Amino acid sequence: MQKISLSGILSRLRREGLVARDGARKTSSWRITGKGKGHLRALSATADLLPKSAHIMPKKDGKLRIVIFDIPERDRRKRDWLRVQLLANDFEPLQKSVWTGTRPLSVTLMKEIDALNLGAYIHIMSIGEKGTLVLRNTA
């Protein structure tokens, strides 16, 4: 996953009108704008709609699991929620929507995924043996 710099994040937030910089560049301070405050209130209100996962994680069993998802943009908060859950379960991103881990997902998490109607967008695979594709010269 890419490392994102603080200056990059602030620059994006400023372009979107959510924050503003006051003062000269080296001695500037940042403040949240009215638009930013409204956006923050909206995020706080919708965050309460997502499950607060407090479940016991299954033990690692050494089997590689791959979670692939393609959740629509309209369900962005659900997609972000899933990424947090995968991180909490010791999964690591290969790409933004492809994650790997060596722990089964808990029954509770699977029920939450189902309750959020995300099942159609998520594919979970378990790999018995790891391997590497070796290209051979057949000439």
- The residue extents of the domains of the chain are 6-44, 64-127
Query: Is the entire prediction scored with pTM above 0.75?
Result: no
Among candidates 48, 53, 47, 43, which has minimal Cα distance to 86? 53
CATH, domain range 64-127: 3.30.70.240
Encode the chain (139 residues) as per-residue pLDDT tens digits: 455 678 788 888 899 999 999 988 788 899 999 998 888 777 766 655 555 655 677 888 888 999 999 999 999 989 999 998 898 888 999 999 999 999 899 888 999 999 999 999 999 999 877 666 555 555 5
